[in-house]
Amino acid sequence: MSTDTVWDVALRQLDLAAESLKLSPGVHEVLRHPRRTLEVSVPTRMDDGSIRVFKGYRVHHNTSRGPSKGGIRYHPSVTLEEIKALAMWMTWKCALVNIPFGGAKGGVVVDPGALSAAELERMSRRYASEILPLIGPEKDIPAPDLGTNEQVMAWIMDTFSTREGFSVPGVVTGKPLSIGGSAGRSQATARGVMYITLATLKHLGRSVEEARVVVQGYGNVGANTVELLADQGCMIVAASDVHGGVYNPGGLSPHRMNRFKQEAGTIFGYEGGERVSNAELLELDCDVLIPAALEGQLTEENADRVAASVIVEAANGPTMPEADEIFTERGLTVVPDILANAGGVTVSYFEWVQDLQAYYWSEDEVNDRLRSIMEASYVSVLGLAEDAKVSMRTAATMLGVDRVAAAHRTRGLYP
């Protein structure tokens, strides 16, 4: 069993891409290290008057191509190594879809569901105040991630703006529309996953209407992916959240599942199919498996039992390197996270541009621009994978690393 951390996995992916690119040792060494790492204490007054201190992080991996960009996650399992890995992947992701950002990531070690709304606001604003020296529309632009949402982004934007003395909508993305958010942002990651899934099925000569899809994770990304793919004609045969999942080989109704989730707070127990665990769900008979939960779900232990022929990574880092090797040997198509889930950061870029211009686009314009970028990026990755005879993951990382390395070499090393 592998003992690699998620940071070890990210470094291994970089090293493999650097070897394929014949990257110079100096540039390779620079890219292996985050540019800056901040650890903060987040003292928060609880509703009963007591004080709790949470641990928070913000990491900038690279800023050679522009200001850093990356989400903020609230979860009990957040670690510095995880945040560093996610920041590195954001660097390659932004370069892969050719938007002018570097990678960043932030997080707080907290269970947001255990806090009241008032406690969550106080904690979020205090965390924002601690990372204020690093963030700004020209420096680092946070966004929602696991455990955070547009309301948290609104609190961060207001905290930053209050310090500046005027509204600065461009300091975060994924905001509510009422304060400078972008149309289409809430579904952007899922819509990108949909475009990539459809492109993959088309490339493989598969019928969209006959594709049986399993989605692990029923948060914002997973639930919207289920709905969007069902609207395109795919059959959703299973889905799950943190509590467990539901499986029906004859197909599930996304709309009924959503209604059940709104009432029960989970889709586990939905009566449209049989109950399955998250571990069982990954091994169900299907054509497309979409892991949309946490990292490290597909491992050496379960890779041989994955029945899907296509894996589209909506989550960050769901596949461990040993599982990747097994999937390659088995001939499975794995579309990597930095390509498959890049829709979110792409529309975050659109939102940032709109905020800077104070000129906003329609949802159709946003979706059309997103589709164009996602499909072009897919073609680029697929072409390199076939030409270089490497996996799509290595090809995607190579494209991202090469663009960042080129920017680094062009700018030079100061002093």
**167-204: per-residue pLDDT in tens?**
999 999 999 999 999 999 999 999 999 999 999 999 99
pLDDT for 240-263, tens place per residue? 999 999 999 999 999 999 999 999
Mean pLDDT of 318-330: 95
pLDDT for 272-298, tens place per residue? 999 999 999 999 999 999 999 988 999
Where do the CATH 3.40.50.720 domains begin and end in the chain? 188-331
pLDDT of residue 2: 60
| Model confidence at 7: pLDDT above 80 | yes
pLDDT band at 234 (very low <50, low <70, confident <90, very high): very high
Give the active site residues.
105
| Model confidence at 325: pLDDT above 70 | yes
pLDDT band at 4 (very low <50, low <70, confident <90, very high): confident
Task: Count other C-beta atoms under 10 Å from residue 15's C-beta.
Answer: 15
pLDDT band at 399 (very low <50, low <70, confident <90, very high): very high
Where do the CATH 3.40.50.10860 domains begin and end in the chain? 34-167
pLDDT for 102-151, tens place per residue? 999 999 999 999 999 999 999 999 999 999 999 999 999 999 999 999 99
Q: The domain 34-167: what is its CATH number?
A: 3.40.50.10860
Query: Cα(122)–Cα(54) distance, rounded to whole angstroms?
Result: 12
- Mean pLDDT, the chain, whole residue set: 96
Share of the chain above pLDDT 70, in %: 99
Type of residue numbered 205: G
pTM for this structure? Answer: 0.95
Query: Cα(342)–Cα(344) distance, rounded to whole angstroms?
Result: 5
pLDDT of residue 294: 85
Superfamily of domain 188-331: NAD(P)-binding Rossmann-like Domain (3.40.50.720)
DSSP character at residue 179: G
Whether cis (ω within 30° of 0) applies to the bond prior to 415 is yes
Backbone angles phi, psi at 291, to 5 degrees: -75, 120
| Model confidence at 1: pLDDT above 80 | no
Contact status, residue 99 vs residue 67, Cβ threshold 8 Å: no
pLDDT for 38-89, tens place per residue? 999 999 999 999 999 999 999 999 999 999 999 999 999 999 999 999 999 9
pLDDT of residue 236: 97
Strand order across the beta sheet in which 288-291 lies:
274-276, 244-247, 235-241, 212-216, 288-291, 310-312, 333-335
Nearest in space to 88 (alpha carbons), one of 27, 33, 159, 150? 33
